[in-house]
């Protein structure tokens, strides 16, 4: 049995159990997509087809992929929802969900705005929306639509949302302030005007010395549409020799700084599904709906690979693969090493049916 056949067998077992209601032909196509993505680490449909052991011509499989990404009956939110449940099930319900929001180039002339879920030193794709655009920021309306979708997915869970300077609009901050159990830290521009100590002034005009950090409580945020009360975190970036500013509803400077450090995890996710992994940014699809369906397959493949990285640790196989005195491989990289080892040695490949709780294993890559 070839590597492609063995991997297909395990992916098929997983998706048959996870997606029993998905139309059989679409499920089979999704299986081929996931297998081809994992083996080839490319999003070009022709390249994916080359990796699959298909009984007919590779060109016919490529055409099958094209029909899948163009199929309006393949609903991304519905299909991917089972993977969201799988991710959430393994997390401690008493702990907040640490979410990051950011946008990145995906496909030809498309951007994707994504919310990810923190998982150890990585992030897992949770919910996203794709739209036309080569660069630039998403609108507050798009951001709010995505955040409301996330809220519907995790209605009773405490949430910490982390974002960069794209997500500091007054409408978004107003919405975040109204969500019970939600906390947020979002970077904001230095020319934003706030009401502090009886006057409106730009954040860059605060009387701050180089190296000084501070925390402003109970201020009104933006002169054009005052949201109050909010807090402003000010930190010093020594490498850049300037201050960074953040809007937050967290109560203390220490708490806001601690949680914002977790925002980098979504950067690792984008790096993994782009240059380090599946090269989603090099795709040629230009229609946002089609990119969205391909991105769903990429997200599922990513979860498989991270799961195998975790299994390498839990099974103890990591000790036979890499040095263990310190972790130098991410769960994503470790997952690829592990699956290639299992294929090479003809060892059993674990199916994806659960995602272990982060507390069940140790792994920190700085």
Coil, strand, or helix at residue 273? helix
Residue 365: per-residue pLDDT: 63
Residue 364: per-residue pLDDT: 65
- The pTM (predicted TM-score) of the whole model is 0.94
Residue 138: per-residue pLDDT: 87
Concatenating the DSSP letter of every residue in 78-136 gives HHHHHHHHHHHHTS-TTSPEEEEEEEEE-STTEEEEEEEEEETTEEEEEEEEEEE-SSS
The CATH code of domain 77-268 reads: 3.90.350.10
Strand order in the sheet with 214-221: 122-132, 110-119, 97-105, 159-163, 182-188, 242-248, 227-237, 214-221, 193-196, 199-202
Residue 294: per-residue pLDDT: 97
Average pLDDT of the chain to the nearest whole number = 92
CA 79 to chain centre: 17
Q: Which helix (H) or strand (E) holds 293?
A: helix 288-314
Q: Region 1-14: what's the mean pLDDT?
A: 95
pLDDT digits (tens, 9 = 90+) for 38-63: 999 999 999 999 999 988 877 899 99
Confidence of residue 142 (pLDDT cuts 50, 70, 90): very high
Residues of the chain with CATH 3.90.350.10: 77-268
* Residues pairing with 114 in the sheet: 102, 128
Q: Region 134-155: what's the mean pLDDT?
A: 90
234 pLDDT above the threshold of 60: yes
Residue 366: per-residue pLDDT: 47
Q: Region 10-18: what's the mean pLDDT?
A: 97
What percent of the chain shows pLDDT beyond 70? 98
Residue 43: per-residue pLDDT: 94
């Amino acid at each position: 049995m070839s590597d492609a056949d063995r991997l297909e067998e395990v992916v098929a077992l997983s998706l048959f159990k996870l997606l029993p209601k998905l139309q059989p032909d679409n499920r089979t196509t999704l299986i081929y997509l996931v297998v081809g993505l994992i083996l080839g680490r490319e999003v070009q449909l022709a390249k994916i087809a080359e990796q699959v052991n298909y009984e007919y011509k590779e060109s016919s499989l490529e055409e099958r992929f094209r029909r899948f990404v163009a199929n309006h009956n393949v609903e991304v939110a519905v299909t991917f929802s089972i993977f969201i449940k799988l991710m959430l099930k393994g997390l401690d319900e008493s702990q907040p969900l640490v979410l990051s929001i950011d946008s990145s180039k995906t496909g030809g002339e498309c951007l994707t705005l994504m919310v990810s879920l923190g998982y150890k030193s990585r992030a897992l794709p949770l919910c996203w929306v794709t739209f036309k655009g080569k660069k630039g920021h998403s609108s507050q309306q798009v951001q709010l639509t995505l955040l409301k979708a996330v809220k519907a997915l995790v209605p009773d869970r405490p949430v910490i949302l982390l974002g960069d300077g794209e997500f500091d609009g007054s409408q978004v901050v107003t919405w975040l302030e109204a969500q019970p159990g939600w906390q947020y830290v979002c970077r904001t521009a230095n020319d934003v005007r706030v009401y502090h100590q009886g006057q409106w002034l730009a954040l860059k005009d605060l009387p701050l010395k180089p190296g000084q950090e501070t925390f402003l409580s109970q201020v009104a945020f933006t002169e054009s549409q005052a949201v109050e009360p909010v807090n402003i975190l000010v930190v010093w970036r020594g490498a850049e020799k300037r201050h960074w500013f953040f809007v937050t509803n967290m109560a203390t400077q220490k708490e806001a700084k601690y949680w914002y450090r977790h925002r980098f995890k979504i950067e690792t996710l984008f790096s993994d599904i782009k240059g380090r992994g599946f090269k989603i940014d090099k795709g040629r699809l230009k229609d946002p709906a089609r990119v969205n369906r391909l991105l769903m397959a990429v997200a599922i493949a990513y979860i498989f690979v991270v799961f195998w990285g975790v299994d390498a640790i839990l099974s103890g196989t990591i000790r036979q693969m890499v040095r263990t005195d310190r972790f130098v491989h991410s769960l994503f990289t470790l997952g690829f090493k592990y699956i290639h080892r299992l294929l090479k040695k003809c060892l059993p490949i674990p199916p994806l049916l659960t995602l272990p709780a982060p507390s069940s294993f140790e792994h920190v890559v700085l």
